[in-house]
């Protein structure tokens, strides 16, 4: 073949290969993208497009916005989303085994001046039958994708819960800081009253010192509350995928109104959780993948039948020759050192391990739901009780301080009443926090932590009458 013609053919083949390679990189002939779970994000209402495309919302963030930012920006959700895409592509890799393969070979060499040899060959191969090895591998890949999707759901619910917890923790820290400021103001008022009575001679130095000590303690508590507020603000920013010093502003939380029909049958909740928990679904898919691996290991030691076809052209010393062949290739493994036997044993043992893991998770799901349900029941009762506790403590503090200012009460009565009121405020804040978090934790334990829960959680603040509008430093 003339060298120029040879080079032209070679260039044409390289261009064809380049276009095919580019097409393979950008196309998705097996529609593996359709197998992927949705990208982690909230999808409220009839919103279209990418819910993560918008920048951080301006102004105070409500609970749904906090959760959406966490799902979109947290590295953990991005990691499981990438892992799901990896496994979806692996399904495509396995499906490729059902299609024929073609390869092109071009060679040229020169042995001495004026003597050269060039050859072009095209080979086609197609696996006809392999006793189910390809089908088992494909089933394994599909089940691993299902497991990856369920694992993503589990990770999303974990981040979802962390965002809800951080949101309410920040609300609670703000309410605790406000309560500490109020306690400090009350302690200062008591100190001023004791100092005034001491000046007029109607109180002893001990009254003034006790009131001053209580005032100093209240100031220390306020400083501690401010430090705790800084820490939870940094944690919130971290969960949102931001630097800990990033400013975040939160809107109000929900009210303490307990929904009607709130209590449920815990046995029904456990059974529902067994159907919905994503980690349980992931374990079930892992079990099916392991069972498919057993089938693949058994088929790997059996014969395979393939169709092969090839054509080539060789030019040497001015002589051009052509050759073509079509044939059936039967491959029968005779002996490979007992490796197939032990591969099957490995796969069977993995099935047993996955079975045990699935059963362990079933038991854990029942324990999770039971424990969280009992915690929620306790939190609900505490929320109802602390309202009465706070009301009576406020009245007691007002009466004690009024009696002392009127000269008929003791400073100890005032300080005890103020201490009880500060404790009641903190218990009210903690019970409201525990109740909101217990509701979200129960939903997560059941595998149903989603946008619907946010509609119940959003509303007025249970811990503070005003919205949390303070800018984080």
Residue range 40-55, pLDDT digits in tens: 988 765 556 778 877 6
Q: Distance of alpha carbon 168 from its chain centroid, rounded? A: 18
The string of pLDDT tens digits covering residues 419-447 is 999 999 999 999 999 998 998 999 999 99
Angle of helix 339-405 versus helix 133-200 axis, rounded to 10: 20
Query: What are the DSSP E strand ranges found in 158-225?
Result: none
Instruction: Please check whether residue 398 lies inside any domain of the structure.
Output: yes
Instruction: Please check whether residue 119 lies inside any domain of the structure.
Output: no
The count of structural domains within the chain is 1
| Own/partner pairs, 265-272, CB within 8 angstroms, 24+ separation | 266/369, 266/370, 266/373, 269/369, 269/373, 269/442, 269/446, 270/365, 270/366, 270/369, 270/370, 272/446, 272/448
Which domain, by its residues, includes 202? 60-99+132-303+339-457
- pLDDT score of 167 more than 90: yes
Instruction: Please check whether residue 157 lies inside any domain of the structure.
Output: yes
Tokens of 353: 């391990």
Span 211-217, average pLDDT:
94
Instruction: Please check whether residue 24 lies inside any domain of the structure.
Output: no
Span 246-264, average pLDDT:
70
Instruction: Please check whether residue 4 lies inside any domain of the structure.
Output: no
Query: Model confidence at 121, in pLDDT bands (50, 70, 90)?
Result: confident
pLDDT of residue 38: 86
pLDDT of residue 467: 30
Instruction: Please check whether residue 374 lies inside any domain of the structure.
Output: yes
Mean pLDDT (the chain) is: 85
- pLDDT score of 456 more than 70: no
Is residue 306 exposed (0-12), middle (13-18) or buried (19+ Cβ within 10 Å)? Answer: middle
Instruction: Please check whether residue 147 lies inside any domain of the structure.
Output: yes
CATH number at residue 223: 1.20.1600.10
CA pair distance 274, 361, nearest whole angstrom: 9
Tell me the percentage of the chain whose pLDDT exceeds 70: 85
Instruction: Please check whether residue 37 lies inside any domain of the structure.
Output: no
CB 433 within 8 A of CB 167: no
pLDDT of residue 118: 80
pLDDT of residue 257: 62
Query: Model confidence at 1, in pLDDT bands (50, 70, 90)?
Result: very low
- pLDDT score of 256 more than 70: no
The pTM of this model reads: 0.81
Span 91-112, average pLDDT:
85
The string of pLDDT tens digits covering residues 299-344 is 998 999 999 999 888 877 677 888 889 999 999 998 888 999 999 9
Least reliable range by pLDDT among 43-47, 77-81, 168-172, 273-277: 43-47
- pLDDT score of 87 more than 90: yes
């Amino acid at each position: 073949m003339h060298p120029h013609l040879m080079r032209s053919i070679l260039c044409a083949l390289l261009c064809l290969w380049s276009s095919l390679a580019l097409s393979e990189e950008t196309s998705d002939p097996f529609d593996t993208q359709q197998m992927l779970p949705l990208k982690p994000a909230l999808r409220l209402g009839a919103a279209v497009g990418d819910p993560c495309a918008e920048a951080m919302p301006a102004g105070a963030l409500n609970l749904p916005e906090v959760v959406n930012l966490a799902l979109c920006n947290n590295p953990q959700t991005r990691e499981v989303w990438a892992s799901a895409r990896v496994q979806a592509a692996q399904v495509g890799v396995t499906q490729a085994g059902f299609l024929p393969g073609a390869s092109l070979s071009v060679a040229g060499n020169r042995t001495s001046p004026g003597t050269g040899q060039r050859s072009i060959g095209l080979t086609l191969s197609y696996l006809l039958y392999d006793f189910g090895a390809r089908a088992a591998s494909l089933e394994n890949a599909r089940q691993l994708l299902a497991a990856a999707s369920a694992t993503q759901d589990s990770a999303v619910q974990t981040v979802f819960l962390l965002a809800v917890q951080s949101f309410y923790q920040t609300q609670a820290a703000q309410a605790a800081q406000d309560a500490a400021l109020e306690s400090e103001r009350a302690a200062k008022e008591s100190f001023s009253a004791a100092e005034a009575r001491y000046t007029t001679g109607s109180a002893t130095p001990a009254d003034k010192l006790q009131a001053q000590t209580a005032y100093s303690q209240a100031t220390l508590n306020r400083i501690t509350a401010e430090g705790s507020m800084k820490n939870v603000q940094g944690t919130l920013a971290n969960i949102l995928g931001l630097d800990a010093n990033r400013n975040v502003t939160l809107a109000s939380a929900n009210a303490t109104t307990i929904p009607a029909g709130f209590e449920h049958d815990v046995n029904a909740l456990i059974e529902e959780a067994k159907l919905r928990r994503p980690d349980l679904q992931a374990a079930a898919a892992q079990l099916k993948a392991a069972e498919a691996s057993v089938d693949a290991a058994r088929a790997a030691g059996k014969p395979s039948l393939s169709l092969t076809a090839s054509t080539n052209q060789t030019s040497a010393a001015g002589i051009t020759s052509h050759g073509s062949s079509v044939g059936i290739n039967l491959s029968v493994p005779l002996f490979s050192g007992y490796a197939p036997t032990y591969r099957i044993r490995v796969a069977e043992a993995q099935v047993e391990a996955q079975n045990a893991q699935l059963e362990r998770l079933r038991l854990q799901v029942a324990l999770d739901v039971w424990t969280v349900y009992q915690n929620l029941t306790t939190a609900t009762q505490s929320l109802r009780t602390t309202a009465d506790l706070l009301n009576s403590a406020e009245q007691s503090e007002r009466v004690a301080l009024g009696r002392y200012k009127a000269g008929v009460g003791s400073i100890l009565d005032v300080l005890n009443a103020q201490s009880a009121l500060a404790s009641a405020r903190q218990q009210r804040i903690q019970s409201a926090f525990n109740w909101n978090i217990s509701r979200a934790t129960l939903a997560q334990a059941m595998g149903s932590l989603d946008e619907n829960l946010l509609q119940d959680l959003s509303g007025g603040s249970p811990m503070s009458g005003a919205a949390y509008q303070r800018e984080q430093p």
